[in-house]
Amino acid sequence: MAYVFNMNEILEMAEQIERNGAAFYRNAAKGISDSQKSKYLLELAQMEDQHEKTFASMRAQLSEKEKTSTLFDPEDETVLYLRALADTRVFFEKKIDTSSMEEILKEALTAEKDSIVFYLGMKDLVPEKFGKEKIDSIIKEEMEHIKLLGKKLVELKK
């Protein structure tokens, strides 16, 4: 049986992914000795915090239809499943050289790309009546991060 999700569940995953991203950047900032680079990573963490708030706001504005559960789930196991998906698909813990800004940015770019692929896949699992079109807003936010990270990576290589 295939899973079908609603927009509320997707945005809940998006919020978790943003929390994971913020934690990634804050942790990476601790490993960088250059204060300017560390400050930049903390700014990226704040952007992830802001994305989380944006997605929470989007979730608060959903219609009842977009919040309607698609499965009978009296034990709320869907929430645990979604949290596990969010925690293991994007920004999950990897061993990287947190003293290298270039390595941190490469890992961050990979995570942002993974998030877009994840959301594109989730689009197929959300019917139109449950808010499928709103996933494009999430993808657009992630694409902005890719542009920003790519630009910074190019600057570092100069």
d(CA 90, CA 109): 11
Q: What domain range includes position 59?
A: 7-67+75-157
Flag whether the pTM goes above 0.85: no
Q: In this structure, what are the phi and psi dihedrals at residue 24, rounded to the nearest 5 degrees?
A: -60, -50
For the domain that residue 149 is a member of, what is the CATH number?
1.20.1260.10
- In a domain? residue 1: no
- In a domain? residue 2: no
Domain count, the chain: 1
- In a domain? residue 126: yes
Q: pLDDT digits over 41-52, tens only?
A: 999 999 999 999
Does the pLDDT at position 86 exceed 90?
A: no
Residue found under tokens 């560390």: 38
Q: pLDDT digits over 7-30, tens only?
A: 888 898 889 889 989 999 999 999
